[in-house]
Amino acid sequence: MTSVESMLSIRMRRHIVDADFDVSLDSPGVTVLFGPSGAGKSTILRCIAGLDRIASGLLALGDQVLDDGERGHVRARHRAVGYMFQDLALFPHLDVAQNVAYGLHALPRPAREARVAEALRSAGVAGFEGRKIGELSGGEAQRVALARTLAPRPRLLLLDEPLSALDAPTRLSLRQELRQLILAAGIPAIIVTHDRDEALSLADRLVVLIDGRVRQIGAPAEVFEHPADRDVARVVGMENTVSATVVGANPGGLLLRVGRRELLARSEPTPVPAGGEVFICIRAGDVGIERPSPDDAATAPANRLACTITMVTEESSIVRIDLDAGFPLIAFVTRRDHAVAGFHIGMSVVGVIEPSALHLVRP
């Protein structure tokens, strides 16, 4: 059990945000605030940092009240919280060393210089002291910003969309490293992101925020596999959500009816009684497309649905196929499969979904 001293307790209202959750500071790890743009993620981060006040509620770090929504308020500069801005906010008129040393004004000069060198080294930009900010590449600027945030050794790290300013290849290579750097620093971190891959790869714990409210908290795999409701399912990337009625249990799993179709699902942790309403969530990547063959019935227990293609959309690395299976169904196929099969509008195909790919959510 965690003690009160080691919790960041967030109970706050401001604009659309009405959030209530705790972040454990005991075991340094990464909490990801995840949700679509405009969900209020950055607002929460700014309030924790003290850049904005909460309208009501209570923000407390351990036994220190940061903001009580009224008079009581610890100024941002006294909170000892590290904040990395979405666009980094490096000071353009100072060089790299001056940027990193900026938060170390209380240290004597030799200690300050040592700390700057150490922070730059641990962020992977050793020897960059004299560089100008305008001369840094995106990835280098990112590392310098992280070094500047870590150098004063804050008690909590707040990172707002830390990788969004980078081009795709740099983002991929920095993602894992960022997690390692944070863990190595041993400072608990809250990271805000709207990117699913980032949330999955960075988080120890995921807080899903939609329309200003916390909708689910859990381990990333748990949230992504078992979204709490339909909205969470959508933001974690379940492209297909469709309402269904439970028909009953079956040796293979739970039998569900969608319109006139029947689907089989592996039993879920929250069994729903027969006749109950559920939402079925299916990732588009879990829907396979095959050509109709005469021995379809023999290959159960997979769900095989006769479908018609209603739309074909080529995206950057995949092809999205919209299907009419009696209900709308989206599938992703590789470009190669698309080229071989020649999918086109009006084509009759079979949509294949493993029972384990059906995630049930109570409405």
Partner 1 sequence: MDWQAIGVSVRLALLTTAILLVIAVPLASWLSFSRRRWTVVVEAIVALPLVLPPTVLGYYVLIALGTVSPFGRWWKDLTGATLAFTFTGLLIASVLYSLPFAVQPLLAAFAGVDRRLIDASTVLGRSRAATLWKITLPLSRAGLVTAGVLTFAHTIGEFGVVLMVGGNIPGQTRTVSISVYDSVQSFDYAAAGLTSLALLGFSLLVLTATYALQRRGSLLWSRA
Give residues in contact with partner 1 (CB under 8 A): 49-51, 76-83, 85, 87, 89-93, 102-103, 105-106, 133-134, 148, 152
Nearer to partner 1, 31 or 99 (CB): 99
Q: How far is the CB of 160 from partner 1 (least distance, A)?
A: 10
State the minimum distance, in angstroms, from the CB of residue 226 to partner 1. 36
Choose between 65 and 76: whose C-beta lies nearer to partner 1.
76
The order of strands in the sheet holding 17-24 is 17-24, 7-14, 56-61, 64-67
Question: 263 by DSSP, 3-state: which?
Answer: strand
- What residue type is 33 in one-letter code? L
**Strand 277-282 vs strand 287-290: parallel, antiparallel, or unpaired?**
unpaired
Residue number with CB closer to partner 1 (21 or 102): 102
Nearer to partner 1, 83 or 327 (CB): 83
3-state secondary structure of 87: coil
Closest CA to 198 of 32, 332, 42, 36: 32
CB of 135 to partner 1, least distance (A): 8
Closer of 98 and 308 to partner 1 (Cβ): 98
Look up tokens 């666009």; give the residue. Answer: 87
CA atoms within 13 A on the CB side of 111: 7
3-state secondary structure of 226: coil
Q: Tell me the C-alpha distance between 100 and 113, whole Å.
A: 10
Q: Least CB distance from residue 309 to partner 1, whole Å?
A: 47
Minimum Å gap between C-beta 119 and partner 1 is 13
